Structure formats: structure tokens, C-alpha cells
Amino acid sequence: MNSDFNITIVGLGLIGGSYAMALKEELNPKNLWGVDIDAKTIETAKNMGIIDDGFKDAKIPLENSDIVIVSLYPELAIDFIKSNIQNFKRGAVITDTSGIKGKVVGEISSCLPDYLDFIGGHPMAGREAKGLSYASKDIFKNANYILTPTEKNKSENLALIKNIALTIGCSNVVSVDPESHDKIIAYTSGLPHLIAVSLVSCNNFGNTQKSFIGGGFRDTTRIAEINPDLWSELFISNKNNIIEQIDKFQSNLSILKTAIENEDMIKIKEIFDSASKKRSELNSNE
Amino acid sequence: MNSDFNITIVGLGLIGGSYAMALKEELNPKNLWGVDIDAKTIETAKNMGIIDDGFKDAKIPLENSDIVIVSLYPELAIDFIKSNIQNFKRGAVITDTSGIKGKVVGEISSCLPDYLDFIGGHPMAGREAKGLSYASKDIFKNANYILTPTEKNKSENLALIKNIALTIGCSNVVSVDPESHDKIIAYTSGLPHLIAVSLVSCNNFGNTQKSFIGGGFRDTTRIAEINPDLWSELFISNKNNIIEQIDKFQSNLSILKTAIENEDMIKIKEIFDSASKKRSELNSNE
């Protein structure tokens, strides 16, 4: 892939920092700049050699960047782009990495001039941690990358972001519309987090209880170590879809509860059999 | 540990087969016999060298065994022991490996003659699979082993089963009363399985949805590949505790749902923070 670009990454946290590391190693663009509100983070990123230079004020890097990757929480990403409209270089391709798309794409597209192209993006990669110190170029290895194009996006720019995703290690780039993204993510990502949190919250862990905790409990609660700031925002921003998924889930669990109350072994086995087959469909992708 | 015993394992499935493998390797008792209803399983176990001899009829091995490990589903374990009371050797120590204890210990203790000692046992080990072909001596490595003694059990026999558990690779043997076992297991094991099943059952997986599935969804649904026969029996046998846990969980999830509906960010963050801290308590044991 052609690497003759200037790229700016806004937000040098877990995802932004990992993106910088991966780009430096796999693409090594003409210039790779970082923007962050924290001077110490910028210093660390420069010392690690993952950015060529870092800025608290975005004006200079944006004016000279062909590609801008905004790696901030959704509201901050929207605010950042809106308040820096005048600073972007003509023809720049802007993308984000946030976990919701309808609101982000909608708000940004409606205020973007024609000479800029914003493509909603969401690398399906991450860790239950925050901050540059947890960043790793490997988080993208074999991950999927979702793009949420609209008819405003130019096909050559979509191809560009797609190639970047593949270059940093992603195995697959999938395009869906922003609303479908939010609907699907509420199930595949939102709901599991809420479930893990609710499960952990049921009881306290004395030493005796801890002896009963095996792989099943650990796996089902792993993502309960949740980043409260990020996820509270993601859930509220996608609340209708989230609530729909919670309702479906609670309904399923209630059906199982009733079957157990009624000692309806046939019904229970039917549900288990069906779930087991369904879950095994994912194994070929594991 | 002294290995001058004859040991019989009843039920050469995943757990019984693994137990045989581990005993052969780590203890190598005077004789290690297997009992199973399936001739082919017995043949396979003999060919693998994990038992010295195998029997469809339990009479002969039981008459000569100092220790009997009954590795059958709960109802079958109860039936087996009751129908073989006359066959056990005087002074034999009998234990089981099933996932519920109140019913099993209660029913067996009430019909056991004084010259036999039944100790409820539950190795916290396993895999989402069934049958001898999935057995492995390694499933006990670093696992916990629960014993559920009653005042009928002799302390030297408890020590014996404890030593066996440690010898086959378990890191820790914990004793609780049978009712407490069932209460705790409903939370740490039962509920996660029901959650995983209910989560998987919410939606279908088209190719697009599959691209959105990451580690979080996989981890939270891993145990949805559930053995329907075993688990339907475990849930029904422990239904009061299971229903109590389902109710607690649903209540927690409903509280979160309401907080999201109300966009109560403070409440959501409070719940997430608390769950995150709680889950991290388990990390030192991981």
C-alpha cells in the first residue's frame, strides 16, 4: 500500500495508541502525528517512537494531514470534528473508531463541507483497559473492522480506509449502514457487557465462594471489568437498541426459569440443544 | 500417598475417564477397575491402559474395592449406590463427582449401612463435552475440589479422599455442607450457563452479525455449548436455588435497564465501577 500520506491520530488512548503503533510498523506513513489533551501522553508517545510529533492544539497537524483518525469517545469525537472543521486540509479523509455509528455519522455528515469526507469506522478490537500504557499494535491482528459508509462517501476514500484496516492487521473489513451497526452491536457487544456486570453483582465473594469459581464463571464475567466512562456513554447513545436486546434476553431467561419451575425437562433440553448448536456455529471462526 | 488400594470408578465418561487417567498416572493404585454399561467404552479404556480391568456388572469390582468413585449423573449415581448396597466391601469409602450435593448426600446417607462411608464430592473441573474421548488427566490441574462432609463421615476417610484429590492435581480441597454447596453452585455454575444459553438464543447469526462478534461475546457464550442431559437434571434437582439466583440476576439487569432508559449516567457508572472492582478480586486467582 502507498504510504505517502500524512496521518494524524486524535486521542492517544488504548485504541488511538494501538493504531499509531500499528501504522508506524506496518505502513510507516510520510508523517504520523498525534493529538492529545495530555502533554504527558504526547511525551510518552514520542519517546516510544510511535508518533513523529505530538500536539495539544490540533490546527497544525490537521492542516497538513491527508487522513485523520479520531479515536475519542463518541461525544468528544463529534465535538472535536465540529470545532475543527476549518482546520482540516481540503480533500482530507476523516474516520473515527467509536462504538456507535448512527449518532456520530449523522451529526458529523450534516455539518461537513463537500471537500471533506467522513467515514464511520469501528475496529472490533480492544481490551478491558484504558490508556496508552495498554496499547498494543497486536490488538488488530485478525480482528474485524466495520465501516459504515453513506452515499456521501467517495469510493476511493472507502478503499483507502479499508486498505489501512487490512494493513494494520485486520482480517476482514465489513460495510454496513450506521443504523444496522448500532442494532447489531447492541447485541454482540452491549448486551454481553450488561450481562457480565449484572452477574458479578449478584453475590459477594467470600473465600468459600471463590473456591467454586471455575472457567465458566470467569469467562462469563470477564468483560465485567468495564470502563465506566466509555460504556455508560455507549449505552445511553444507543439506548433503544440496547433496551430491545435486554428485553429479548430477559424474555429468554424467563422462559427457561418457567421451564425449570415446571420441571419441564423436554422444554429445557430443547432450548439447550438449540443454543448449543447455535454457539457451535461460531467455532469455525474462533 | 499410600497407593495400596483397589479403586473402582463407576462411569467412564468425561469425568470418570479423566479420573482414571489421573489416578493411573499420579497414584497407580494396586488395582484400578472401571464399571460402565457400555462394553465399547470398557474396551477403549482397557486399550488405553487407564484401567486394569473393566466390568458391566459391578458386583465383583465393588466386593474388592476399598474406594469407589461414582462418576454418574446424580439420579443414576443414587440409583447405582442404592442397588449395589450389598456388593460394597465392608469399610469401603464411596464418593461421587456430581454437580449437586444436597439430594445425593441426603438420599444415599439415609440408606447406607454403618460399615460404609459415603462422602459427597465435586471436582470443579470439566469441559463442554461428554464422553471418554474427551477425557484428560489434566482437567484436575489446579482445579478446586469440593467435599460435602456430614457428621456420619469418618475423619480418616475424609482425609483419604482429600489426599486423592490433591494427588490427581487439584490445588485446593474445600469442605462445605451439602446445602451450602448447592446454594453456591447455583450462582457460580448454574446461572452462568443459563445466561450463556439465553444470550445465544436472542438472535440469529448471519454473516454480517458474525463480523461483529468479538472476544466479549465469545467468552460470555462459551458455556452455551451445554450438555443438555446433564444440565437439565442439575437444574431441576437444584431448582429453588437456581430460581433464587435467576431472580437476583434479573433484578440487577432490570435496574441497569431502568438507569439506561433514564439516561442516569451517575447510576450506570456506579454499577459498572462496583462490578469492575468485584470482578478484579478474582484476578489474583486466575
Rounded mean pLDDT, A21-48: 96
What is the per-residue pLDDT for B285? 57
pLDDT computed for residue A101 by the predictor: 97
Q: How far is Cα A135 from Cα A13, in angstroms, rounded to an integer?
A: 7
What is the topology classification, in CATH, of domain A6-176? Rossmann fold (3.40.50)
Q: How far, in Å, CA of B264 to CA of A109, rounded?
A: 28
How far apart, in whole angstroms, are the C-alpha atoms of residue B36 and residue B57? Answer: 8
In this prediction, residue A284 has a pLDDT band, given cuts at 50, 70 and 90, of: low
Smallest Cβ distance to B224: which of A221, A279, A285? A279
Q: Is the pLDDT of residue A285 over 60?
A: no
Exposed e or buried b per residue across B16-31, where buried means at least 16 C-beta atoms within 10 angstroms of its C-beta: bbbbbbbbbebbebee
Half-sphere exposure of B63 (CA within 13 A, CB side): 7
| Least CB–CB distance from B197: residue in A227, A235, A256 | A256
Host H or E run for residue B108? helix B102-109
**Greater confidence, A36 or A286?**
A36
Write out the three cell numbers for B194.
Answer: 443459563
Could you give the CA distance from residue B32 to residue B106 in angstroms, rounded to a whole number? 28
DSSP per position, B61-84: HHHT-SEEEE-S-HHHHHHHHHHT
Q: Which residue intervals of A84-139 are DSSP H helices?
A: 102-109
Confidence tier at A157 by pLDDT (50, 70, 90): very high
Asked if residues A253 and B250 have their Cβ atoms less than 8 Å apart, the reply is yes
Provide the pLDDT for residue A282.
Answer: 87
The pLDDT score that the predictor gives to residue A283 is 81
pLDDT tens digits along B181-198? 999 999 999 999 999 999
Quick check: helix, strand or coil at residue A181? helix
Query: pTM to 2 decimals?
Result: 0.92
pLDDT at B284 over 80: no
- Sort out which chain B residues have CB atoms less than 8 A from A220's CB and list them: 192, 195-196, 219-220, 222-223
- The pLDDT confidence band at residue A279, using thresholds 50, 70 and 90, is very high
Query: What is d(CA A184, CA A99) in angstroms, rounded to the nearest whole number?
Result: 11
The C-alpha angle A135, A139, A142, rounded to 5 degrees, equals 165
DSSP state of B244: H
**In sequence order, what are the residues at sequence separation of 6 or more whose Cβ sits closer than 8 angstroms to the Cβ of residue A83?**
none
Question: Are B220 and A219 a contacting pair at CB < 8 A?
Answer: yes
Q: What is the pLDDT of residues B13-32, one digit of tens each?
A: 999 999 999 999 999 999 99
- pLDDT tens for A213-257 read 988 999 999 999 988 999 999 999 999 999 999 999 999 999 999
Strand B144-148 relative to strand B117-123, pairing: antiparallel
Among residues B34, B102, B36, the alpha carbon closest in space to that of B74 is found at B102
Q: Categorise residue B233: left if φ over 0, alpha if ψ from -120 to 50, beta otherwise.
A: alpha
Element (H, E) at A160: helix A155-167
Q: How far is CA B266 from the centre of its chain?
A: 40
Domain ranges of chain B: 6-176, 181-285
Percent of chain B scored above 70 by pLDDT? 99
Hey, how many other C-beta atoms are within 10 angstroms of the C-beta on A71?
A: 27
Q: By percentage, how much of chain A surpasses pLDDT 70?
A: 99
pLDDT of residue B186: 97
Nearest CA in chain B to A145: B211
* Grid coordinates belonging to A23: 501504522
pLDDT tens-digit readout, B55-88: 999 999 999 999 999 999 999 999 999 999 999 9
Q: What is the mean pLDDT of residues B262-273?
A: 96
Chain B CB contacts of A205 under 8 Å are: 278, 281-282
Q: CB distance B188–A209 less than 8 Å?
A: yes
Q: A219: which chain B residues are within 8 Å (Cβ-Cβ)?
A: 192, 219-220, 222-223
Give burial (CB, 10 Å; 0-12/13-18/19+) of A155: exposed
- How high is the pLDDT of residue A286? 54
Question: First CA to last CA across chain B, in angstroms?
Answer: 28
Q: What is the pLDDT of residue B70?
A: 98
Strand, coil or helix: A31: strand
Query: Which CATH number is B181-285 given?
Result: 1.10.3660.10
Give chain A positions within 8 Å (CB) of B275. Answer: 196-198, 200-201, 224, 226
CB B89 within 8 A of CB B115: no
Among candidate residues A180, A168, A6, the one with its CA nearest the CA of residue B203: A180
Q: Is the pLDDT of residue B128 over 80?
A: no
pLDDT attached to residue A128:
73
H helices of chain B, in order, are 14-26, 39-47, 59-63, 74-83, 102-109, 155-167, 178-185, 191-200, 207-211, 215-221, 228-237, 239-261, 265-280
Are A21 and A49 in contact, with CB atoms under 8 Å apart? Answer: no
